[in-house]
């Protein structure tokens, strides 16, 4: 068998084992008379990208109302309205497996709470984080697992405004050896010839470069895109407004 075939066989076998385990666990719960709000696949939207953008729109609307709230009681009420069921997966289900419907490669920045900004609950997003949201090897391998084993149909590379890693890549300030290694892919994504980009433009360029690098570095992801079983997109999160814009 070719290495690629062997990888596909191994990942496929793992996926079958996980699915069989989840099914058996669901049957056991039924026999015990227990109820679970949703099985794993019940939370899968028909259009994953639209579901992400719709969830972000709900978050933006919530943030606007929260900022305008005039009292702690009003903020508490708004929080209760926002944090609703929204396909909440029971702990007994999550303990037995996962079937997320989107993968997110994003920055390690503490201002990017991915579940919040897309208004989703645990078990729905497969998230990989590193400063600068680059397509680093371990992150790409993690997305191979998400796609080949978990069946994720969408990957979003999510950058954000005021990104410190991109700012460091644009700067001439000295960095530690490891930080220099971390920002090197970001510097490589910048145009040559002496053109200096504004930070906002550089953030978009870095996202676009990471989107391209995913299929350049991974045959698994490239083949999934070619087979139309995977879509890869880029987005930028505006910290001030809470809005995600596709780029």
Global confidence as pTM: 0.82
What is the reported pLDDT for 178? 95
Across all residues in the chain, what is the average pLDDT? 86
Rounded CA separation 144/225 (Å): 12
Domains identified in the chain, total number: 1
pLDDT category at 142 given cuts 50, 70, 90 is: very high
Task: Find, among 222, 226, 44, the residue nearest to 143 by Cα.
Answer: 222
Range in 14-18, 118-122, 211-215, 219-223 with the lowest mean pLDDT: 14-18
CATH code at position 52: 3.40.1050.10
Side by side, which strands form the sheet with 154-160? Answer: 125-129, 102-106, 154-160, 231-237, 244-246
Q: List the beta bridge partners of residue 128.
A: 105
pLDDT category at 70 given cuts 50, 70, 90 is: confident
Range in 18-32, 182-196, 212-226 with the lowest mean pLDDT: 18-32
Range in 89-103, 149-163, 171-185, 232-246 with the lowest mean pLDDT: 89-103
Beta carbons within 8 Å of 135's beta carbon, 6+ residues apart: 105, 157, 185, 209, 210, 213, 214, 217
Helices (H), 43-89: 48-68, 72-82
Q: Range of 79's domain?
A: 3-246
Are 126 and 116 a contacting pair, CB within 8 Å? no
What is the reported pLDDT for 84? 65
Q: List the beta bridge partners of residue 129.
A: 106
Beta strand ranges found along the chain (DSSP E):
102-106, 125-129, 154-160, 231-237, 244-246
Higher pLDDT, 3 or 131: 131
What is the reported pLDDT for 183? 95
What pLDDT, in 10s, does the model give residues 157-195?
A: 999 999 999 999 999 899 999 999 999 999 999 987 656
């Amino acid at each position: 068998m070719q290495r690629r075939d062997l990888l596909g066989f191994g990942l496929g076998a793992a996926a079958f084992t996980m699915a069989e385990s989840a099914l058996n666990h669901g049957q056991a719960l039924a026999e015990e008379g227990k109820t679970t709000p949703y099985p794993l696949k019940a939370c899968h939207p028909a259009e994953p990208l639209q579901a992400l953008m719709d969830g972000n729109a709900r978050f933006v609307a919530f943030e606007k109302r929260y900022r305008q709230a005039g009292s702690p009681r009003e903020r508490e009420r708004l929080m209760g309205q926002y944090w609703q069921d929204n396909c909440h997966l029971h702990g007994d289900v999550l303990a037995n497996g996962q079937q997320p419907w989107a993968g997110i490669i994003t920055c390690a920045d503490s201002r990017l709470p991915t579940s919040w900004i897309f208004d989703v609950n645990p078990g729905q997003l497969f998230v990989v984080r590193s400063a600068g949201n680059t397509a680093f090897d371990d992150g790409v391998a993690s997305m191979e697992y998400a796609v080949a084993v978990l069946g994720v149909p969408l990957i979003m590379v999510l950058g954000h405004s005021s990104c410190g890693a991109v700012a460091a890549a644009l700067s001439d300030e000295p960095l530690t050896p490891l930080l220099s290694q971390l920002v090197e892919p970001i510097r490589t994504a910048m145009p040559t010839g002496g053109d200096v980009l504004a930070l906002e433009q550089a953030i978009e360029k870095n996202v676009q470069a990471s989107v391209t690098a995913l299929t350049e570095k991974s045959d698994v992801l490239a083949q999934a895109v070619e087979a139309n079983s995977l879509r890869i997109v880029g987005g930028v999160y505006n910290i001030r407004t809470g809005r995600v814009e596709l780029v």
